[in-house]
Structure 1
Amino acid sequence: MSVELCGVSKRFGEKTVIAPLDLQVATGEFLVLVGPSGCGKTTVLRLVAGLEEPSTGRILVDGKDVTSLPPGQRDVAMVFQNYALYPHMTVAENLEFPLKMRRLPRPERQRLVQEVAEVLDIGHLLNSLPRQLSGGQRQRVALGRAMVRKPAVFLFDEPLSNIDAKLRVQTRAELARLQQRLGTTTLYVTHDQVEAMTLGHRVAVMKEGRILQVGPPLEVYRLPADTFVATFIGSPPMNLFPATVQAGGLVIAETFFPLPQAVLPLHPGEACTAGIRPEHWRPTSAEEPALALGVAVVELLGPTVQVGGYVGQTWATVLLPADARPRPGDTLKLTFSPENLCLFAPDSGQRLYP
């Protein structure tokens, strides 16, 4: 089932939480809403679920206007950040509860519970209480309670934020496999851009109640719409430098880099912001133009070394091969290839190139 938001906004009194937005989620798509805390991600989910009423606009599920329908009639299931399990019920009773509310016969309820427990590998936990489970197990029970209804749409509100880092990686992979297997349309909210990049078929980046960019994860990473997306998506984020266009090139930190004319959308003398991803730097010889990075921090990450320091007055982060062993106090001469350069307008932050 597809989901469509048409001019949907939400105000609480005088405060606008969601500016009018349009968003389409295709049938079977896994769309991730990502952005900083307070940007309106969860409010969008609550609007789709029917837990909040939009101030303007319409919400469509499979082409049907559900804007005025109560949550129980929308055929959507929401998994909350805090799991929201009934503490006095066993896992089996928690899974069975939404089916009881739909007055399904007991044999049918038991069959569906067993089916979901098998998919999620929680069959051995059916007689346990939530307090006897680990965070990852409780997360799977919460997911199972949503799955057992076989809804048209899944809504996930930061379901992995309460579990430890190692288990989060494992559970993230399980979620991706489950969604591929079930093919259920999914809206997933997170502030973790790594989750967004690894889970989503498409990613929608939000800020202050607005969607800044929607696209496949790699496209959003390589071609950020503006400087906010450039620094929010990617870990470590894109490095941004004040720059000035000159005839035949670009000046960054008082260093002239000759560039093809196609790379330069502005006239000589105009200012812009140059963006370069940490992994797109490379050490260079004295013969080519280079930026001097004063090394302040060196972090060995296994296959790579993360180096942080200043280029002029601007902090920059560089990822180098593990065999590179700079030390704090060293100066690295680094350059980049034109195809890895992004240019942004200095005032609006909008991408100018490519």
Structure 2
Amino acid sequence: MTESSAPSNASAATPPTPPATPVPPATPEDVRRVACVGAGVIGGGWVAHFLARGYDVTAWDPAPDAGTRLRRLVDAAWPALEQLGLAADASTDRLTTTATLEEAVSEAQFVQESAPEKLDLKRELLAELDALTPAGVVIASSTSGYPMTDMQAEAGTPGRLVVGHPFNPPYLIPLVEVVGGERTDPAAVRWASRFYEAAGKSVITMDREVPGFIANRLQEALWREALHMVANGEATVGDIDLSITEGPGLRWAIMGPMLTFALAGGEGGMAHMLDHFGPSLKSPWTRLEAPELDRALYDAVVTGCDDAADGRAIADLVAERDRGVIAVLRATGRLRQDGAA
């Protein structure tokens, strides 16, 4: 979906009466047809991923040129997916774009919603998807921050609605975070986690809702500190990026920040690290409150990124990023023999 997109209101049907415990019509491992609703960067990335894993994909987006843009996105992602390793029956010919939302989900065995991050839009669209999708089929939202409890408020059968939060681009980054809302059936969460694993994803199944989930909260802390340093003239955009790519980012590609810090404690591990560096937690090293995003900071960040791009087009940067991520995955042994991360 584009930012101006709105639900189609293709159906005014009364939502079906919810069963006591929704039962998906297929096991996670037997799913063959996936519907992707929204064909922007995230939705299109999901389309590319599912096609590469050998699924039949139906896609819908209300934008007039959505089909053309989606095909371009899939074509751009395909070389990276070929390097990762395609499923034996993978083909871009298995993609069908539909004129209506109802057509997209009428035979779906799993639905991935990737509409813009607008709560009212999410609520309305998920309620419409719930009314149109076959009974018992799990519907997942790609939301990057909204709790499912807030999004499922208008759905007739909220028990089958879950969050399946990917990382951009979904066809390349393995992580997906799965969590339900207060009215989600725990069986739907378990089903979705199994499905994503069968589809080649690395899954974190969360047992409670956390605003921003896990990875986004960690990213956000780093992002806010970076903005403060730019705003205060303490570092340039280039300095900040280099500090990660040539510093902790190299370690994080192998193990996360917790184990990385544990190694800083030597043979004493995390306990020694905390004893030694714990007092520095009181030092003014971070400022988690977001800085004011005024015009000066906005321009500094945008200009800094333009300088860092050094004339390279977005498409060139995407291809460079994809090659780099694949190289890291391969170098760290995280590509399975079938090519899936």
Q: Structure 1 or 2: larger helix share?
A: 2
Same fold (TM over 0.5): no
Q: Structure 1 or 2: larger strand share?
A: 1
